[in-house]
Structure 1
Amino acid sequence: VSERLILYQHVDRENTGWTAEDSFTFTASSPPAALGPAEFRITISYEINEPGWQSRLLANTGAAVKEGDKVLIDQSKLDASNLLLKLPESQRSSYEIWFQVTSLPHHGTIMVGDRNITKRKPNFSQYIINKFGITYLHDDSESLADNFTFAVWPNQKSKPATKPEADFLEEMFNITVSPVNDQAPELKTKELRLKVLQGNRLVLGPENLKVEDLDSPPEEIRYMIIRNPNNGFLSMAHHPDTPVHHFTQADVDNSQVWFIQDGSPSSGVFYFSVTDGQHRPLYKLFHLDVIPISITLVNLTDLLLPQGQTTVRITNAHLSAMTNGRSPQITYKVTWPLQHGCLLIENQVVISFGQEDLDSGRLSYHMTNLTASDDQLQFSLFTSESNLTGQTLSIRVQPLLRIMSNLTIANRVAHTLRRKDLDATELANRTNSDPKFEVTEPPVHGRLVRRVSRGPMMEDATLFTQRDIDQGLLMLDPHANLTGTNVLNDSFTFLLRADHVQPAIGYLPFTIVPPNPLLLQTFTPDVSLLVTVDNLMTSDLSQEKSLVSSRPTTQTETLGKQTQTRWQEADPWGRHSGREPTMDGKPSSTRVIWPSDAMKASPGAPTQPRETSYSLVVIVPVAAVVCLLIVTAVAFCVWLLGQKVEKAKPLIKPQTNLEPTPPCPRPERGITVPTVTVTPLLKGSSSPPVSLFRAPQCEQMASPVTEPVEKCGPWETWVNLDPDMVKLCRQTNPMLKHKQYWV
């Protein structure tokens, strides 16, 4: 009993129902002791699930079939007639067993005679199985197993076979497929190639060599080396120094095959065959590419030496290299001496250094020649396995300068450079000098000009100072062809010099854009306006003496409120509209208006032809309207002056010669127009109580005996004055009365 040798076998199946009981009586003795008779009960039922047997049918053994073949399923393999035992014995003859396939096989087909079992016709009976059987046909795939699921129930013979909602049994019929070696091995790797570093070893894995055979396991797929590699050999992982000539796909899949490169720089191949032992071998050529050991510069950035300093560190941010060899030690060697400096490590001059010196920041460059603006470090790199020659690190002096990053100027509109555009003030403070800019590359699409002695004359600026920039003497005059584009980039390059420091190369980039078509002067219509060429006053500080008209005339103007739309602080005529510093640094209430003729460059300077950026269709009507307004305004003012002459009494006799007074400081181009209120001292005067006019800035010369006299510069006197107007102007001032004061 302990050795499981005693079995109970059920017999007489036909006379046993769905469930039955059985028993036997036994005694046990072990002299002198004994056990009386005992009964051992046995339950017989199709409901019991035995280990390894899950079916409740009389037979559901499954079937076995070869790959691509068919098998007959008869009563010995599938029998559900025991379901009739659930019915009373009197009703069993009027019922029969029916099957319905609920899940078709995945790799084959079930056939009943010549008809296939489908989802639309899935039924067959136990009678068909007993008499004819059903057939399973395999689809010749490489699958090793298949199955189908069915439902079975007793169905009354007089009624159609329909699966009931309940009282049915569902089981699975398993089919085992025996593989057939009918296919040759197939190479799955698209490119038989292995890249290996020179002198290194590398695993030959399934990503490099893969052959599949669904009929054979990897252990049965065998490789044979027909011709060995010419730049190394193949070996197994457990014997890396012993060449091998045979291995399997399982060895490749388990990373057991290695290629040992012999150190030669040339690439090679090996010729092999592969077979499963049943089919003809497959012959292929495998390529072995050798990657030579090399040194690569991953960072070669210019070294910037701040202007005014002589030493700067060289780190891996400027110079860094890496190698694919086994030796990580990289050495740099200077191949040509530095022209204007030397390399230092801990204050010692060196001509070779390592990558670790760059990584730790121990290496530095020291400039010894303060007249140079750049230098070059020519070097080579090498390891114990490779070298890299002919490399150069550029060393440049970085100018101590602030430059506007996004300078935008309008085309054909002169732009005055200011300190905010180009600022070397810090360099000037450090060196106690006026930094000089030497232009080495002028702008391509314009001119860099300088105002001569703050006059209207212009000359090409090839050398200028920071003081020139601060005084507003330097101007950019772009004249680019913007046809087909709206933006054009330009720049000029210069050499920045200062006392006791090395020069530095810099450049000022700027963007040229089209001028604003609305950049025109507009005036309010409620004020009369008189603007003529005679009103425009020119100033030339280089002249020692100015000539004035021998016949003083008087002319009055009523200037309207003026509004001007700006574009980068420049008016449409190319004149800077911002505030300019005066000679003494004080603001001036007089603004000198420069005529267009005075803005031309000197005869010796190269000139560029000016092209209008507006259409003639717009300019001609506007010019006509402006001329008409000017003529009308002049005629109206002349008529008013004629009416005032009759009522006004002359105050003084006109003088024929005027002695020009010394020039006052340079007037500033102010934006606002100053107004002066003149109160007549004579009751009989018919002049208007208030007149608005553009007044020059003058020095008030006062003394206790004489009355104040205005001293004006020759360029700030009125020209072509009307004779009637001079009657209203005094050369000498009368005594002030009660509640009167000078303005």
Structure 2
Amino acid sequence: MSGGFNFQVTDGLNFAPRQIFSITARTLVISLEKNNGIGVFPGMRRAISPEVLKSVTNDQSDMNNRTITFQVSSPPKHGQIIKLGLENTTTEVTSFTQSMVDEGMIWYEHKDTEALVWSTQDSFSFTISSPPAILENQKFFITISYEIEDPNRPTRLIANTGAFVLEGGKLHIDKSKLDASNLLIRLPESQRAAYEVWFQVTTLPKHGVIIVGDRNITKEKPNFSQYIVNKFGITYAHNGAESPTDNFTFATWLNLKSKSALKPDNDVVEEMFNITVIPVNDQPPELKTKQPMLKLLQGKMVAFGPENLNVEDLDNPPEDIVYTVISAPNNGFLAKLGNLKESIQFFTQADINKGDLWFVQDGSPRSGVFYFSVTDGKHKPLYKLFNLDVIPVSITLVNKTNLVLVQGQTFTTITTSNLAATTDGTSTVISFEIVQPPRFGSILSNDTPIASFDQKEIESGRVTYHMTNFNSSQDSLELVVFTSESNLTGQILNITVKPLVNVTVGLKIPTGLKYTLKIGDLNATELANLTSSDPEYYVVDAPACGKLVRRKMSGKDLYEDIDKFTHGDIEARQILLDVDANVTDQEMINDSFAFMLKADNVPPALGYFTYSVVPYDATLLDSSTTVESFTITTTSLLYTTLSHEKRTTSSWLTRNITEAPIRRFANRNRWGNPKEYESTLSLDVVATGPAVKETTIKQPTVGPKAEPSQSNPLSIIIPLVILGVLLLTIIFIVWFLIRKRKAKKAPPHVRSHSYSMVPQVPSPYTERSTTIPTVTVTPLTPPLKPKEYCSASPLFPPRHDHLLTNSAPSFGSDQKIWLQMDPEMIQHCRKTNPTLRNNQYWV
């Protein structure tokens, strides 16, 4: 089990110390992995497969080269072990190998059919060896029984062979074809003489009758005995139907001879007796295809199928139905699959069913026919015409989209997304020929003007369009697409110039506003820098719900209608979109205007400015306004209400109204503190003179497009309500100041206040000034100087007892007031006080 050898390594001059190479052998172990036994039907044979008998060794590394041998030490008593050879020859063996078992060569065959019982047991003993390993005293068991279901034998009876009958003839069924006497083996031999085997036909045959003696088997009298079959036999008579098969089912059981035949509930064997009908050629072939025809593409080869040509004959198989070509097709020929270059004249229905018959088209676009006859060899031939419908080769454009040239570019590449075609023909080269060249440019390949090109040149990116004339925003060329088999004419490839401008997306404008277009909305800065010019917009399609206007610097009218403006006008915020549409709540109208954008040394380009018109809502506006002065008067407030409807006003009043976002307040506390306020007037987004107004529109969620309406009654009612509230506020302020003036004689005192509602400005004083200011609300006609002081007229009542300003002579110090400030003063005051925010400030 172990060994080795000594060795020494040398280079011819020097020697290494001697070494020992050890070798250890493992014990070879053989084991029986599977020994399950088999079941065999009496008189049958059954394979001994590796699923029931398998032996292995622990030598996994050399399993393929190791032979495992089974040596039979005690053979079976009721049968023999055989080896299946070529052409199903058998040889009895006493030894075999595992590889023979794996290949299905070893079988057990039952031989002892004379001394049969219903079920018995057999076995053989064996030893297993694979030198030097051996495994002794093993036994393999075989069960022999009529209860065994053998896939090679559909019956459990001694005989149930079925039979053949000629169409319309009779069949004699005797003991050799139907024998259930093996059921007696279930009984002890002493009891067998008292019983006999009976049959009952449970399902009658469909195309014939069973005759026993001088009567027919019926549902009322379905029984007969094995004795009748053994002595006289029974007869099956076929009724001449064109059915290839027939059958009947029966039940068989053991019945006491002293009792009448009655089928019991158990111990019954039920099987089927199959009958094969040999047809008689008494029917001519029948053409089942109503319109024999074949559709194929020009130049193709197509196989015939039963759906193209089908003849049926119940008396003959498809191999016996023969076709003869009387007149050959004029646009090709018929051929067999094995040799598609040779024309044939004869074929069978079996050739069609198997797909072996082909038609080879000659490539011409014309259709054709061939004339044929078909027969079964006995009846008169059937003559018919077969149509060959040829579909011409076609070319299909899978892609044909506009070629886009961006302003500032002089050329662009034609890609497969712009132009691509496919064909169902055999030609692989698809070519494009220019019939009408472009008017304002040319087509080049590798910088060389061309009149034609192919699909592969497009795929490689070598075909380009170069614009040489910058007078048009679009161009086109006409093409013919063709192959060696077909062509497609009248194909137009359009070329359009895309404006080099950034247009805002998803803009929503409330109706009734003049919206100032800004660079963020329509930006041609890149085009202006590229061309060193001021790009011009020419309106080619005005908006449906409004118009484009320009802000005038002087004159009676503040705005003028326009159909042209420049990039500089957008930068100067001089262009406005006057939106006027009738939209209700939760509705929206999509609108747009089209423009032609032009600049120096580039082609013009057509563009679109799209937006949505939504219902007016004052809360959507968030305005930051820069103006020269700020004045609130009751007259201007009243005029605001009227001007919203009439849209006519003087420049002075319009500036005072539109430049000041009027707000109302609600939920005031007793000190007049505003908790919530909202815009109540419809403000046009405009600017006059040096005044500029930037409007941010909060976009609400609105519904689908609605039709425009003319007016909104709330635009009159809400300003009037606000006017009344403002008048009451002014009266309250005057009353409050008079009360303070009367309380001036009272001794000064200090009260603590909570400034929870608004931000607080840190103050170095711990007490309030005893000086009570006098407040007079008057219009400020001349603009205030930002450098003189930071003050404005109060819009809301004082939050506390006094008004605070840094240097206003009319106000005291160390007081606070909620006020609306002039925007220019805001910019000045913001530098000195970083807490200022929006249009309302704590100063």
Q: What TM-score do the two structures reach when normalised by structure 2?
A: 0.58
Q: Which residue of 2 aligns with 1:223?
A: 323
Return the match for 1:563 from 657, 672, 677: 677
Taking the TM superposition and a 5 Å limit, the aligned residue runs for 1:178-217 are 178-181=278-281, 183-189=283-289, 192-217=292-317
Q: Which residue of 2 aligns with 1:404?
A: 504
Taking the TM superposition and a 5 Å limit, the aligned residue runs for 1:139-538 are 140=241, 142-144=243-245, 146=247, 148=249, 150-155=251-256, 157-158=258-259, 161-163=262-264, 173-181=273-281, 183-189=283-289, 192-225=292-325, 228-236=328-336, 244-278=344-378, 282-453=382-553, 457-480=558-581, 486-515=587-616, 532-535=634-637
Aligned partner of 2:226: which letter? Answer: Q
Retained in 1: the 8 A contact 2:436–2:477? Answer: yes
Moved more, 411-420 or 50-59: 50-59
Retained in 2: the 8 A contact 1:109–1:117? Answer: no
Q: Which residue of 2 aligns with 1:677?
A: 804
CA deviation string 1:394-441 (max 9, x = no partner):
122222222233333344444433333322233233334433222222
- 1:116 aligned counterpart, secondary structure: coil
Aligned partner of 1:489: which letter? Answer: N
Instruction: Give the 3 Å change call, closer, same or farther, for CA 384–163 of structure 1 in structure 2.
Output: same
Q: Which residue of 1 aligns with 2:32?
A: none
Task: For residue 358 of structure 1, report the CA deviation from its aligned partner.
Answer: 0.9
Taking the TM superposition and a 5 Å limit, the aligned residue runs for 1:55-66 are 62-66=162-166
Retained in 2: the 8 A contact 1:677–1:692? Answer: no
Instruction: Give the 3 Å change call, closer, same or farther, for CA 279–414 of structure 1 in structure 2.
Output: farther
Higher relative contact order (CA 8 A, sep 6+): 1
- 2:526 aligned counterpart, secondary structure: helix
Whole-angstrom distance in 1 between the partners of 2:515 and 2:113: 114
Retained in 2: the 8 A contact 1:155–1:161? Answer: no
Retained in 1: the 8 A contact 2:596–2:606? Answer: yes
Whole-angstrom distance in 2 between the partners of 1:592 and 1:97: 112
CA deviation string 1:691-727 (max 9, x = no partner):
6543335679x9xxxxxxxxxxxxxxxxxxxxxxxxx
Q: Which residue of 2 aligns with 1:573?
A: 682
Aligned partner of 1:677: which letter? Answer: L
Whole-angstrom distance in 2 between the partners of 1:485 and 1:696: 36
CA deviation string 1:364-388 (max 9, x = no partner):
2222223432222233233333333
Task: For residue 361 of structure 1, report the CA deviation from its aligned partner.
Answer: 0.8
- 2:569 aligned counterpart, secondary structure: helix
Q: Which residue of 1 aligns with 2:822?
A: 696
Task: For residue 454 of structure 1, report the CA deviation from its aligned partner.
Answer: 9.8
Task: For residue 65 of structure 1, report the CA deviation from its aligned partner.
Answer: 2.4
Instruction: Give the 3 Å change call, closer, same or farther, for CA 83–353 of structure 1 in structure 2.
Output: closer
CA deviation string 1:437-492 (max 9, x = no partner):
22222223332333334998233342223343344433334445669994443322
Instruction: Give the 3 Å change call, closer, same or farther, for CA 292–155 of structure 1 in structure 2.
Output: same
Task: For residue 114 of structure 1, report the CA deviation from its aligned partner.
Answer: 4.7
Whole-angstrom distance in 1 between the partners of 2:597 and 2:566: 9
Retained in 2: the 8 A contact 1:194–1:287? Answer: yes
Return the match for 1:116 from 182, 205, 218: 218
Whole-angstrom distance in 2 between the partners of 1:59 and 1:85: 15
Q: Which residue of 2 aligns with 1:722?
A: none
Q: Which residue of 2 aligns with 1:721?
A: none
Whole-angstrom distance in 2 between the partners of 1:639 and 1:370: 73
- 1:333 aligned counterpart, secondary structure: strand
Instruction: Give the 3 Å change call, closer, same or farther, for CA 681–252 of structure 1 in structure 2.
Output: closer
Task: For residue 88 of structure 1, report the CA deviation from its aligned partner.
Answer: 7.2
Instruction: Give the 3 Å change call, closer, same or farther, for CA 474–563 of structure 1 in structure 2.
Output: farther
Retained in 2: the 8 A contact 1:454–1:473? Answer: no
Moved more, 100-109 or 427-436: 100-109
- 2:820 aligned counterpart, secondary structure: coil
Retained in 2: the 8 A contact 1:313–1:362? Answer: yes
Whole-angstrom distance in 1 between the partners of 2:343 and 2:270: 60
Instruction: Give the 3 Å change call, closer, same or farther, for CA 126–458 of structure 1 in structure 2.
Output: same
Retained in 2: the 8 A contact 1:144–1:179? Answer: no
Instruction: Give the 3 Å change call, closer, same or farther, for CA 453–218 of structure 1 in structure 2.
Output: farther
Task: For residue 130 of structure 1, report the CA deviation from its aligned partner.
Answer: 6.0
Taking the TM superposition and a 5 Å limit, the aligned residue runs for 1:708-723 are none
CA deviation string 1:329-375 (max 9, x = no partner):
33323223432222222222222222221111112222222343222
Moved more, 492-501 or 352-361: 492-501
Aligned partner of 1:575: which letter? Answer: D
Instruction: Give the 3 Å change call, closer, same or farther, for CA 146–503 of structure 1 in structure 2.
Output: same
Aligned partner of 1:377: which letter? Answer: L
**Between the two proteins, what is the percent identity of the paired residues?**
43
Whole-angstrom distance in 1 between the partners of 2:488 and 2:654: 77
Return the match for 1:44 from 114, 119, 126: 114
Retained in 1: the 8 A contact 2:551–2:688? Answer: no
CA deviation string 1:41-75 (max 9, x = no partner):
99834569999999897765543323466645455
Moved more, 439-448 or 82-91: 82-91
Aligned partner of 1:502: which letter? Answer: P
Retained in 1: the 8 A contact 2:393–2:486? Answer: yes
Instruction: Give the 3 Å change call, closer, same or farther, for CA 383–89 of structure 1 in structure 2.
Output: closer
Instruction: Give the 3 Å change call, closer, same or farther, for CA 151–418 of structure 1 in structure 2.
Output: farther
Retained in 1: the 8 A contact 2:509–2:612? Answer: yes
Retained in 2: the 8 A contact 1:370–1:501? Answer: yes
Whole-angstrom distance in 1 between the partners of 2:209 and 2:585: 75
Whole-angstrom distance in 2 between the partners of 1:691 and 1:89: 129
Cα RMSD of the aligned pairs, angstroms, is 5.6
Q: How many residues align?
A: 603
Whole-angstrom distance in 2 between the partners of 1:161 and 1:260: 69
Aligned partner of 2:194: which letter? Answer: S
- 1:384 aligned counterpart, secondary structure: coil
Aligned partner of 1:44: which letter? Answer: E
Task: For residue 304 of structure 1, report the CA deviation from its aligned partner.
Answer: 1.3
- 1:44 aligned counterpart, secondary structure: coil
Instruction: Give the 3 Å change call, closer, same or farther, for CA 386–91 of structure 1 in structure 2.
Output: closer
- 2:636 aligned counterpart, secondary structure: helix
Whole-angstrom distance in 2 between the partners of 1:385 and 1:226: 31
Retained in 2: the 8 A contact 1:414–1:478? Answer: yes
Task: For residue 268 of structure 1, report the CA deviation from its aligned partner.
Answer: 3.2
Moved more, 407-416 or 369-378: 407-416
Instruction: Give the 3 Å change call, closer, same or farther, for CA 239–467 of structure 1 in structure 2.
Output: same
Whole-angstrom distance in 1 between the partners of 2:655 and 2:299: 96
Aligned partner of 1:220: which letter? Answer: D
Taking the TM superposition and a 5 Å limit, the aligned residue runs for 1:618-629 are 629=725
Instruction: Give the 3 Å change call, closer, same or farther, for CA 493–205 of structure 1 in structure 2.
Output: same
Whole-angstrom distance in 1 between the partners of 2:683 and 2:237: 97
